[in-house]
Chains A and B, each alone.
Chain A
Amino acid sequence: MITKGGLNAATRSLAMEYAKEHIRFNAVAPGGVDTPLHAEDSNDSLKTLTPMGTISSVEDIANAVVYLTEARQITGEALHVDGGAHIGKW
């Protein structure tokens, strides 16, 4: 959890520092994603970790990255792509 908060702070700090030069910094915050990292975990148990009961695909995350790259007015943002897991307990 410390690293997540630290990254959000770093993203905002860098965004502020370079805003005048139009260099943008954003973060994508994924929850459970169906990747080889989770090859040994069952998808059923991973799905219980989000309120929506779904886990993200690699494409879901990649689309968010592409979106932020092209979003000229967005900087210092952490975009959650986690089926609502960041909202809290459910």
Chain B
Amino acid sequence: MASTQKTVIVTGASQGIGAGVVKAFLARGYDVVGTARNATKSREVSASDHLALIDGDIGQFETAQKVAELATAKFGSIDAVVANAGIFLVKAVHGVHGRRLSHARLDQPRRLHLHHAACGQTNAGAEDRRQHREHHGVAGRQSNCRRTCFSSHDH
């Protein structure tokens, strides 16, 4: 069902800042697609007419693809992406110092397909998307985000 409202994708939407961002956008009248490994079991947000929740690891390409497809199918566009999902290298502020990061941990954030989610599936025209794909390759480029960064498409 297409709508004229703007649609936002929020990753890491099940709790904390992600859930807060989902609520803030809903309060402002946006349609929201929230994703997290256990998004549908979240105690802080629940699905509604304006909020679609989808489970999955956003580090996996297939998940990013599903999220983008759901957003365009249900709400008709993707206007902004809030790449909030991150890898918590630390459990809390205390105990951070002196902890060494393993290779596996350092590698994890790079699996977030922020770039592809943000640029490959915007509501730009088909021609724009084709140019993006040619420019970046099919898989898109990867970026990472432990904090919140996002893009928005103005028309």
| A interface, CB within 8 angstroms of B | 3-4, 6-7, 10-11, 14, 18, 21-30, 32-33, 35-38, 40-41, 45-46, 49, 58-59, 61-63, 65-66, 68-70, 72
Contact = CB atoms under 8 A, between A and B. Distances in A.
B94 A41 contact: yes
Interface stretch (B16-24, B46-54, B57-65, B66-74): B16-24
B11 to A, nearest CB: 12
A3 B150 contact: no
B41 interface: no
Given A23-B119, A23-B122, A41-B94, A58 B147 contact: no
A83 to B, nearest CB: 14
10 contacts: A18-B119, A23-B119, A23-B152, A24-B151, A24-B152, A36-B16, A37-B16, A38-B92, A41-B92, A69-B150
B152 A69 contact: yes
Interface in B16-44: 16-17, 19-21, 23-25, 28
Given A41-B92, A61-B21, A10 B144 contact: yes
Contact of A23 (B93, B145, B146, B151): B151
Interface of B: 8, 15-17, 19-21, 23-25, 28, 80, 82, 88, 91-94, 109, 115, 118-119, 122, 124, 128, 143-155
A64 to B, nearest CB: 8
A38 B24 contact: no
Contacts of A32: 93
A78 B5 CA distance: 27
Contact of B24 (A6, A24, A49, A63): A63
Contacts of B19: 58
A21 B124 contact: yes
A41 B93 contact: yes
